[in-house]
Chain A
Amino acid sequence: MIFSVAKQSLLHRKVSVLLTFLALLVSVSLLVSIEHIRKEAKSSFYRTVSGVDLIVGARTGQINLLLSSVFRVGANANSVSWESYQRIVSNPQVEWSIPLSLGDSHKGFAVIGTTNAYFEHYRYGDKRQLSFEAGGRFTNAMVNKAVNNNQKSASIINHFDVVLGADAAKQLNYKVGDQIIISHGVGKVSFSHHADHPFTVVGILGFTGTPVDQGVHVGLNAIESIHTQPQRSLSKRNVSQISLKKSTQAENNHDEQEQEQEQEQEQEQEQEQEQEQEQEQEQEHNHSIDSDKQSGLADLSSQVSHDLLEYEIMQPTQVSAFMLGLKSRIAVLQVQRQVNQDKLEPLSAIIPGVALGELWRLVGAIENVLRIISAAVLIATLLGLSTMLLASLRERKAEINVLRIMGAKPSFVFWLLQLEALSIALAACIVGVVTVVSLIFLSNDWLLAEYGLSLSPNILSIHTLLVLVTVLAATFLIALIPSIGAYRNARTLT
């Protein structure tokens, strides 16, 4: 009976009930989506890397290393020498390793030089392995072989394999089998394109919701080869030697160089000579002078023996960072200490979980701001609800009298008002959740394409349920004001 009365009472006050409902709906939706986004942001943050015991790079802060190796934000200026990499990997505690060479980009997407170990051992989320949407791993067996066996190889191939992250493939609209050109340097506007280095897409990774999606993965020695000179026909080799001299002169006039490059880009096809020059310049921009000269020299000397459009498989001389999987978790701290105290090269080893935690504490302040905002919205709405109930209480005084005359207990009046308030809140909660779920569902593709954000439409976690329970409990408490008022009125009726 009380339900029927409450229902008809609410229907009777359609307009004010509807307004209260809408106000609550907005704040519940806001609250639930903020809570959901907060949770998703945090979990996707912590999901970026898992199952990796240590990340090793040149000596730097742990957040720096984490940002550059996992999030591909910023770059560590220093690299780890190939020898150090080999030395650390040879530690008996190390089960597997993923070398990473970072710092290049393709149309704004980070290029990661690595090996097939990446697809084998990289884990995200709940230790999930990377899956392939299409194609597969690097097929150039030699690429991996050379790296793994540490041989001074001089294999020759005519193209490099590339595996694209889900977002990169989608946004660039690449399919398996497409030939692409990898440019050098970070950023969308790169200095130039290496027309000489065609890459063939051999695989596209499944969606992970991590920075892996934005990655363009190539063989570690492919990176090495981009940085060194491509092998050209003999006639052009002379030109490149000339251009190397040119570029060293041009080092002083940086602006002129860039202008030149722009022009060159426009006339790429016709002016192959200048293109050579560009590449030389890039090397100088992106590498420490020492290694640049070394590789340039090595390049020149090795050029003699090769033929048209073929590339030498270069032995990597350095990696930006590498990830380690250890045989036992207990060894983590021990290996970390060993790496940090390495006498031959200044290195840093970080535990991803610890570094992620530290980084999140940095970013997490936003989380609290969001929470405070949504709490303020909720309080404002609940006060609105209370105002509506109190205002209606005055006009309902006669109604409460009638109920008392009929023999209703004051508690009936109390629960009638509570029931009305709670049904408005409950309806707002249900509709709010449905709205948010459908909004996430509808905007998922757009968010993914536009911001690379993937929100799970399953918002009914313990957190959101807690939010909803809080809303209902707060409604109950706020509605106590008019309800107790009505109860008192009902008791001392005149």
Chain B
Amino acid sequence: MSDLLGEADKDASTALAPAVLVESLTFSYVRGKPIIDIKKWHLNKSEHVFLYGPSGCGKSTLLNLLSGILAPQQGTVNILNTDITALKPSKRDRFRAQHIGVVFQQFNLIPYLSVLDNIRLAMHFANNSAEQESTYTKKETKQERIVSMLQALQLPIDCMQQKAGELSVGQQQRVAIARALINKPDVLIVDEPTSALDASAKGAFMNVLIETATSSNAALIFVSHDQSLASHFNRVESLTDINGSPAFVNQLDSKE
């Protein structure tokens, strides 16, 4: 649908549009048993939201739907007024590379590539054929951008040449954020990034995450079952509340 819109229309409308707008979204792995059923949900630009819910409530499924890896049976997922469910697969892949950053609880990096190459690869996918997105190369080289990003995430610069698999879990998660944010995404989706971290590392990681997400003006969707992390967010929602799937209690009104 929005595929039919011209580029100019899109640019004009993105200024007003919410970062994420989900409408009548349903998804089921097994026919007749939807695991996701969301009437309407939206997230404003630069807004941070904490979604919590028990495991098995469809968190990962929702995130995959939001990032366009899964296609819903019904409904639309609009990211910056672009309905990604209507995009062709190849366009959706590029759109994801350019506009959405994703960090999972683990396996966020290619273990045999160096930190630098992991981030470069992400830039490569985003940059593929979208020359208009490569504006930053005019101001700073890719290398400089990566260095400043790593510095912001309080990662030592000399880790750049190290293989991602050789880093500590905490460092890997920070590199994952660097990788997710390097293309200046409009939406950063983070799924249980701290589950493998100890308590002290958790706090430090959350601080760095919120800080860099804020400074890069990305809308942040943070999903976790660990409610102690909710303190870092203004907006906190229970996934079971927004997900009207019959598998869970139907509570359609949002908490805020």
Report which A residues bind B (CB closer than 8 A): 1, 4-5, 8-9, 11-12, 398-399, 401-412, 491, 493-494
Contact = CB atoms under 8 A, between A and B. Distances in A.
B18 interface: no
A402 B89 contact: no
B90 to A, nearest CB: 6
B216 interface: no
Nearest to A4: B117
Contacts of A402: 107-110
A493 B125 contact: no
A402 B61 CA distance: 16
Contacts of A406: 97, 121-122, 125, 179
Contacts of B93: 404, 407-410
B126 A399 contact: no
Contacts of A4: 117
B70 A493 contact: yes
Contacts of A398: 107
B122 A404 contact: no
Q: Which of A4, A405, A408, A491: most chain B Cβ within 10 A?
A: A405
Nearest to B29: A494
B124 interface: yes
Interface in B112-128: 112-113, 117, 120-122, 124-126
A401 B110 CA distance: 10
A230 B16 CA distance: 121
Given A406-B121, A494-B70, A9 B112 contact: yes
B89 A410 contact: yes
A407 B19 CA distance: 19
Q: Which of A1, A399, A407, A409: most chain B Cβ within 10 A?
A: A407
Given A403-B110, A407-B126, 19 more contacts: A4-B117, A5-B110, A8-B117, A399-B107, A402-B110, A405-B108, A406-B179, A407-B96, A407-B97, A407-B122, A407-B125, A408-B125, A409-B89, A409-B93, A409-B94, A412-B125, A493-B70, A494-B60, A494-B64
A351 to B, nearest CB: 65
Interface string B72-98: 000000000000000001100110111
A350 B67 CA distance: 81
B104 interface: yes
A405 B96 CA distance: 8
Going nearest first, the 6 A-B pairs with the smallest beta carbon separation are A407-B97, A12-B112, A407-B125, A398-B107, A1-B124, A406-B122
27 contacts: A1-B124, A5-B117, A8-B113, A8-B117, A12-B112, A399-B107, A399-B110, A399-B111, A401-B107, A402-B107, A402-B108, A402-B110, A403-B110, A404-B93, A405-B69, A406-B121, A406-B122, A407-B93, A407-B96, A407-B98, A407-B126, A408-B93, A408-B97, A409-B93, A410-B93, A491-B89, A493-B64
A404 B100 CA distance: 12
Nearest to A9: B112
Contacts of B120: 1
B211 to A, nearest CB: 22
Which range holds the interface residue count of chain B? 20 to 34
Contacts of B96: 405, 407
A417 to B, nearest CB: 14
A412 B94 CA distance: 12
Contacts of A491: 89
Nearest to B103: A405
B121 A5 contact: yes
A406 B108 CA distance: 9
Contacts of B69: 404-405, 493
A17 to B, nearest CB: 12
Interface in B54-71: 60-61, 64, 67, 69-70
Nearest to A396: B110
Contacts of A493: 64, 69-70
B223 to A, nearest CB: 14
B20 interface: no
B6 to A, nearest CB: 23
A405 B67 CA distance: 8
B246 to A, nearest CB: 21
A2 to B, nearest CB: 9
Given A1-B124, A8-B113, A407 B89 contact: no
A399 B98 CA distance: 20
Contacts of A407: 93-94, 96-98, 122, 125-126
B17 interface: no
Q: Which of B67, B120, B125, B179: most chain A Cβ within 10 A?
A: B125
Contacts of B97: 406-408
A448 B64 CA distance: 69
Contacts of B102: 405
Contacts of B107: 398-399, 401-402
Contacts of B90: 409, 411
